[in-house]
Amino acid sequence: MNNIITIQLVSKKEIYNLNLIYRKKPYYTNILAFPYNIFIKKKTLFLGDLVVCDEIIHKEAKKQKKKKTAHWAHIIIHGTLHLIGYTHDNKKNKKIMESIEIKTLKKQNFKNPYTL
């Protein structure tokens, strides 16, 4: 089976507006996930869209003293997990999601983003 996602880079203004419109959250965010999970052809599942603000990701990486590539990897994995149904809306779900992020990043030779 093939899984497809799209990634769109947007400005801070655009991510703010999308966060306000779709999540009713009046603030900036680094990524938004819009899940679809529909088959677009046999054995090809479109998971959804990731909308990313590269300006925010770069500022976060600098502030958190992380390499940009490591932070990008983390945010894309985080968004993809949202596309397939994971959430961090409570302590239990947050722990599960972070554990998957850490394991997935480790497989790609990135450090645990929560202990840097």
In a domain, 114, yes or no: no
In a domain, 78, yes or no: yes
State if pTM tops 0.75. yes
**What is the full DSSP assignment across 10-44?**
--HHHHHHHHHHHH---S--SEEEEEEEEEEETTE
pLDDT tens digits, one per residue of 16-56: 999 999 999 999 999 999 999 999 999 999 999 999 999 99
In a domain, 69, yes or no: yes
Domain of residue 30 covers 2-107
Per the structure, how many domains does the chain have? 1
In a domain, 42, yes or no: yes
* Residue 56, domain CATH: 3.40.390.30
Per the listing, tokens 């990634």 go with: 7
pLDDT tens digits, one per residue of 80-101: 999 999 999 999 999 999 999 9
In a domain, 12, yes or no: yes
In a domain, 91, yes or no: yes
